[in-house]
Amino acid sequence: MTGMRMLKLWVVVMLLGLLPVVSEAQEEINNAINVQLEYLKKYPKDKEALRKVSFLYLNKADYDQAIFYGRQLFEIGYNERDYNGAVIYSHICLGQAHMMKGNVKEAYSHLGQARLIGESNKNDSALCSVYNGLGLYASNVQKDYYRSLTYFFKGVEAARRCHYDRLYSILLSNIAGIYYLKNDSTGLKYALECYELGHERKDPYLIYSGSTNTAYMYYLKSDYNTALKYIQEAEFTMVQNDFYDQSNVYNLYGYILHKLNKDDEALGFFRKALDLKEQGNISSVMNSYLGYAEILMEHHQYDRAVWMLKAGIELSYQQANAIYRSDLLQALSRCYEEDGMLVEALKYHKLYQLETDSLYNAEKERAVGEIRAKYDMERQENEIKQNRLELLEKENKMQLLIAGFICIFIAASLLYYLYYRKNKLYLTIVKQNQDAIRREQQLQNKIDEQFAEIGRQSALLQEYLTDSTKTSLPQPEKYASSSLTDEKKQDLFTQLFIFLFTFWRWSEVLLPIRRGTTKELFSQELC
């Protein structure tokens, strides 16, 4: 029943996450707007100021001003080709504002363009707001709760990626609201998570939104006393912070008190909600008419109930909002029937049937579409898995090929290194041998020179001795009896002298040379 009248509120409030630090209170919002307007007087083309003021007006529910400044932001951003920083946020602002005004086509167009820019640039901080807006559009305008949940969960994923904690909590609250519209209490866990995160962060709006949705969930579970506890906390937080669309809370108050058989108090809250209809959104007002009429019918005040129900139906068609249209038509048919006006009852029953048939057909088409989408998704997943397997096989082959090349390279490098060392050792040995041969040749040359010198000295000595013998005096008689003749004596003396002279020269020349050669060879071996 309720739940959707808060959805447009969520459209506005989720934009608060786009603002730096802005209080939910209207007074503080007005002050923030004045600050930005004063700044824009000096710098009229400042994109950041335009972005802030457009979203502030959106939060204030001044949609005309939000559109005015949103268009300025778009023009400047488009001219400067600043799609990811300015154009995308102008589309978000314009989409939300047009949706709140009931301009369905404009809203969807702007939100769709914002989505394209956000997805192409992977701008998660903007995408989570875009998905939230698209989810609200799908539920508010199209009454497509499946698509709405799909967008909201996409927004949750985007908010997680960019650590946008506040909008993450708001998206959880929106998910709980959709489950309420589906009459599914599964949304309780999402509502409670938003409520708990609000208290952890000490964020008034999250507390308000979480407590409101938690009350809805307990209302579905027929736990009316627990629902009343949470809606009382929601009302207290709402009044303290002057939140937008207060009729939402008063409607739920009325429904809970009606279930607790406190119809007088319930009617009081429904009247209070209708008194604030100018500040509330369309869904909230429609729900107020419906709840008020239900109690009037039970008290047989059919004329007043008919007026309430027709006002709600007319508003539904004027604003192209189908959320409660079928409920209003059904209630009006039943009201006429109970009042005995069967013709009118049949008329509105047929309208109700047409509405439900169209909704049924739409649901059937969506169901078929979901099956088809699921089939396509599974097929795509299988294709992706197959592609991944093929890619994995290619990667394994490539890794093996790379490993083979690495092994070959290492082996070749090792072989080259061994060859290089062997060749270097061989060249060293050859050089050492060549040096040894050269030194031996030098030694041999020195020996030959020494022998030549010795031969020359010997020849000179022999010549000298021969001349001395010829000039010497005759020997005494006592030597005449010797067996050695003078010629033999001379010859023997000459050989002895040559031997001694040769020995002396060798000891002087040859031995130092050999010692030096041996030392050099030894040092080279050590090297």
Q: Cβ of 24: how many Cβ atoms within 10 Å?
A: 20
Q: What is the rounded average pLDDT of the residues 195-217? A: 92
Whether 197 and 157 have beta carbons less than 8 Å apart is answered as no
Q: Best-predicted range by mean pLDDT among 21-25, 282-286, 347-351?
A: 347-351
Q: Which residue has the higher pLDDT, 419 or 496?
A: 419
Q: How far is CA 97 from CA 69, 101, 208, 244, in A?
A: 11, 6, 22, 15
CA 103 to chain centre: 35
Of 126-135, 418-427, 459-468, where does mean pLDDT reach its minimum? Answer: 459-468
Q: How far is CA 167 from CA 12, 88, 155, 171, in A?
A: 12, 17, 9, 6
For every residue of 292-327, DSSP letters joined together read HHHHHHHTT-HHHHHHHHHHHHHHHHHTT--TTHHH
Kindly tell me if the per-residue pLDDT of 519 is higher than 50.
no
Task: Report the pLDDT value the prediction gives residue 282, as an integer from 0 to 100.
Answer: 79
Distance CA 342, CA 481 (A): 192
Task: Report the pLDDT value the prediction gives residue 319, as an integer from 0 to 100.
Answer: 78
pLDDT band at 250 (very low <50, low <70, confident <90, very high): very high
pLDDT band at 506 (very low <50, low <70, confident <90, very high): low
Can you tell me which residue has the tokens 């949705």?
Answer: 213
Q: Would you say the pTM of this structure is higher than 0.85?
A: no
Task: Report the pLDDT value the prediction gives residue 459, as an integer from 0 to 100.
Answer: 73
What is the torsion angle, in degrees rounded to the nearest 10, for the CA atoms of residue 164, residue 381, residue 147 and residue 251? Answer: -60
Of 246-255, 274-283, 390-399, 404-413, where does mean pLDDT reach its minimum? Answer: 390-399
Distance CA 129, CA 37 (A): 24
pLDDT band at 487 (very low <50, low <70, confident <90, very high): low
Q: What is the rounded average pLDDT of the residues 404-417? A: 83
Domain boundaries, the chain: 1-178
Kindly tell me if the per-residue pLDDT of 375 is higher than 50.
no
Find out if CATH 2.30.40.10 is the number for domain 1-178. Answer: no
Task: Report the pLDDT value the prediction gives residue 60, as an integer from 0 to 100.
Answer: 73
CA-closest candidate to residue 59, choices 33, 90, 77, 34: 33
Distance CA 283, CA 394 (A): 56
Segment (H or E) for 158: helix 145-161
Task: Report the pLDDT value the prediction gives residue 341, as an integer from 0 to 100.
Answer: 93
Kindly tell me if the per-residue pLDDT of 403 is higher than 70.
yes
Task: Report the pLDDT value the prediction gives residue 343, as an integer from 0 to 100.
Answer: 92
For every residue of 59-76, DSSP letters joined together read HTT-HHHHHHHHHHHHHH
